[in-house]
Amino acid sequence: MLGIQKPSNNMNTDEFKKYAQELTKWISNYYENIRSYPVKSKAEPREIFNQLPSEIPLEGEPFENILEDFENIILKGITHWQHPRFFAYFPANTSFPSILGEYLTSALGIQAMMWLTSPSATELEEKVVHWLRDAMGISKEFTGIIQDTASTSTLVAILTAREKASNFEINENGFGKQHRYTIYCSKEAHSSIEKAVKIAGIGRNNLRKIDVDENFAMSVPKLEKAITDDLTNGFTPICIVGALGTTGSTAVDPLKEIGEIAKKYNIWYHIDGAMVGLALLLPEFQYLTKGINYADSFVFNPHKWLFTNFDCSIYFVKNPELLKDTFSITPSYLRTDFDEIVNNYRDWGIQLGRRFRALKLWFVLRYFGLREIQAKLRKHLEFAKKLKEQILSDSRFEVLAPVNFTTICFRFSNSKLNEQELDQINKKLLEEINASGFAFLSHTTLNGKFVLRFSIGQTNTEWDDVLQTWHFIQKQANKLENYEAKK
Ligand SMILES: *Cc1c(COP(=O)(O)O)cnc(C)c1O
């Protein structure tokens, strides 16, 4: 058999160049024609899975074939998050500078677990995090780190709060009977908090979900009452999570007042600003820093509203020593002088291996500059204001929460229908909009009512996308009304 080996399928640099150019062309065409795709994938459950071979290919295949299947199979099962009429959930936006930065990250293929494994990754990370801190006008007491997601950041906060409260005993010996901990957030807070409470071993029953006021913000008197009740009953309150923009309606908890409570009872104060935290890049929202500066930690996601592709979440923390004491597997006495000068981010969180996420963020921040970023954010905020006016000018619709940022909670309404019928008709309306492929919205529940959520934030969304979608919603509502009338 010697001498008749099949040539290996290693892609050489000439081929790489050729395919990279093809892909760049593909991506450019995709973005030029993105409005022609159905926003939400129309794939049926298992449709994609069943079209793929049941076994791994034994022999390598030509790149052309892979690309062809990407176009013919995979693309059908893609929901187009970068479609300018993607208004569901919160955005996970991106931009060309971010895509190019990510391209380089994958080419370098580094693992940034510690300073030594790529000094630039660690030092650029520290730099961009501090740039953002200062641009947001929050206290210079904060330093920070890039995590994958807000969920991870919140888990890190809760684990640190737990270890601080137990004097690092749970890390050593596990939970004892004496560790009866409680955590607080509002009823509107994100599910990632409950998940973190479960993972951290605190127990879901020890998460106190505090009532909200008419604006869906946490009630501070009820928070304090819950804390004093727990203290009376032998619990130790260890963490309060404040919301800077709830996912349902972007409500903002009274961050400063909560901060005073946290201080009074010596409780870790974490602020979840996953989407709305980015608004602090605008001076008109920096009054919010008064509350944020009370916090021990604060998270927001550039992968939501800073034109940086998923994943990229910034976790600010005032005392990184507590973080290191919680997560480092190198005890303090084994740390060297060298470690005092540079950061080893593996010791600042859960994972050992870390992606070089700072590069794409640096590309974005430098390419646009703060002014252009601010202009983009203001544009989205302006669209939300104008859309709210449009909705209010149609008497068949109502807006059900304050429009604090770029998310509008609204529903079709009709005094002849009861609440149950209204839920049904709004569910139907949402289904019709999303099945059309024209736009993609999601929903939430506010005061028990089924509510449509229109969330603006994709990088290339223009007013016309918002307005056309609104007109489309009105048209669908007309159809449903006629149908109801005929029943
Ligand atoms: C989106 C969101 C999260 C979760 O973000 P991930 O980065 O996906 O974990 C947490 N909190 C709030 C308020 C959010 O809007």
150 Cβ below 6 A of ligand 1: yes
Q: CB–CB of 383/456 below 8 Å?
A: yes
Report if residue 20 sits inside a domain: no
Report if residue 24 sits inside a domain: no
CA of 38 to the centre of ligand 1 (A): 25
Out of 331, 355, 379, a domain closes at: 355
Write the CA distances from 421 to 128, 289, 425, integer angstroms: 50, 43, 6
pLDDT tens for each residue of 132-147: 999 999 999 999 999 9
Q: Please tell me the residue having the least CA distance from ligand 1 atom 14.
A: 274
406 Cβ below 6 A of ligand 1: no
CA of 331 to the centre of ligand 1 (A): 32
CA of 4 to the centre of ligand 1 (A): 55
CATH number of residue 145's parent domain: 3.40.640.10
Q: Which of 89, 93, 149 to mutate to test the pocket of ligand 1 (most atoms within 8 A of CB)?
A: 149
Same domain, 294 and 150: yes
Report if residue 382 sits inside a domain: yes
pLDDT tens for each residue of 162-219: 999 999 999 999 999 999 999 999 999 999 999 999 999 999 999 999 999 999 999 9
Residue 395 has pLDDT above 70, yes or no: yes
Q: Among 211-220, 326-335, 391-400, name the one with the lowest average pLDDT.
A: 326-335
* CA–CA gap between residue 89 and residue 100 (Å, rounded): 26
Same domain, 376 and 466: yes
Q: CB–CB of 443/430 below 8 Å?
A: yes
Task: Report how many domains make up the chain.
Answer: 2
> 183: which strand partners?
207, 239
pLDDT value of residue 1: 47
Out of 305, 333, 355, a domain closes at: 355
Out of 298, 321, 355, a domain closes at: 355
pLDDT tens for each residue of 338-352: 777 888 899 999 999
247 Cβ below 6 A of ligand 1: yes
Same domain, 134 and 202: yes
**What is the position in ligand 1's atom list of the atom closest to the CA of 245?**
13
Report if residue 225 sits inside a domain: yes
**What is the position in ligand 1's atom list of the atom closest to the CA of 303?**
7
CA of 402 to the centre of ligand 1 (A): 20
* CA–CA gap between residue 311 and residue 303 (Å, rounded): 6
pLDDT tens for each residue of 16-45: 999 999 999 999 999 999 999 999 999 999
Per-residue pLDDT band at 109 (split at 50, 70, 90): very high
Same domain, 141 and 249: yes
Write the CA distances from 123 to 112, 146, 264, integer angstroms: 11, 12, 36
407 Cβ below 6 A of ligand 1: no
**What is the position in ligand 1's atom list of the atom closest to the CA of 151?**
9
**What is the position in ligand 1's atom list of the atom closest to the CA of 153?**
9
Same domain, 423 and 309: no
* CA–CA gap between residue 413 and residue 429 (Å, rounded): 12
Report if residue 21 sits inside a domain: no
Max CA-CA distance within the chain?
85
**Which H, E and C letters describe the chain, residue by residue?**
CCCCCCCCCCCCHHHHHHHHHHHHHHHHHHHHCHHHCCCCCCCCCCHHHHHCCCCCCCCCCCHHHHHHHHHHCHHHHCCCCCCCCECCCCCCCCCHHHHHHHHHHHHHCCCCCCHHHCHHHHHHHHHHHHHHHHHHCCCCCCEEEEECCHHHHHHHHHHHHHHHHCCCHHHHHCCCCCCCEEEEEECCCCHHHHHHHHHCCCCHHHEEEECECCCCCECHHHHHHHHHHHHHCCCEEEEEEEEECCCCCCCECCHHHHHHHHHHCCCEEEEECCCHHHHHHCHHHHHHHHHHCCCCEEEECHHHHCCCCCCCEEEEECCHHHHHHHHCCCCHHHCCHHHHHCCCHHHHCCCCCCCCCHHHHHHHHHHHHHHHHHHHHHHHHHHHHHHHHHHHCCCCEEECCCCCCCEEEEEECCCCCCHHHHHHHHHHHHHHHHHHCCCECEEEEECCEEEEEEECCCCCCCHHHHHHHHHHHHHHHHHHHHHHHHC
285 Cβ below 6 A of ligand 1: no
Report if residue 170 sits inside a domain: yes
Same domain, 264 and 311: yes
Number of Cβ within a 10 Å radius of residue 446: 19
Report if residue 350 sits inside a domain: yes
Same domain, 347 and 420: no
Same domain, 216 and 273: yes
Is 19 exposed, middle or buried (CB count within 10 Å of its CB: 0-12, 13-18, 19+)? Answer: middle
The CA-to-CA distance between both ends of the chain, in Å, stands at 78
Q: CB–CB of 113/356 below 8 Å?
A: no
Residue 4 has pLDDT above 60, yes or no: no
465 Cβ below 6 A of ligand 1: no
Side chain identity at residue 367, one-letter code: Y
Q: Please tell me the residue having the least CA distance from ligand 1 atom 8.
A: 149
Q: Which of 152, 192, 253, 455 to mutate to test the pocket of ligand 1 (most atoms within 8 A of CB)?
A: 192
Same domain, 170 and 208: yes
Report if residue 2 sits inside a domain: no
Q: Which of 275, 297, 303, 407 to mutate to test the pocket of ligand 1 (most atoms within 8 A of CB)?
A: 275
Q: Which of 278, 298, 301 to mutate to test the pocket of ligand 1 (most atoms within 8 A of CB)?
A: 301
192 Cβ below 6 A of ligand 1: yes
What's the predicted TM-score (pTM) here? 0.95
Q: What percent of the chain has pLDDT over 90?
A: 91
Same domain, 76 and 160: no
Same domain, 439 and 310: no
Which residues span the domain enclosing 446? 33-50+60-92+369-487
**What is the position in ligand 1's atom list of the atom closest to the CA of 154?**
10
272 Cβ below 6 A of ligand 1: yes
Contacts (Cβ under 8 Å, ≥6 apart) of 199: 155
Is 341 exposed, middle or buried (CB count within 10 Å of its CB: 0-12, 13-18, 19+)? Answer: exposed
CATH number of residue 439's parent domain: 3.90.1150.170
Same domain, 73 and 208: no
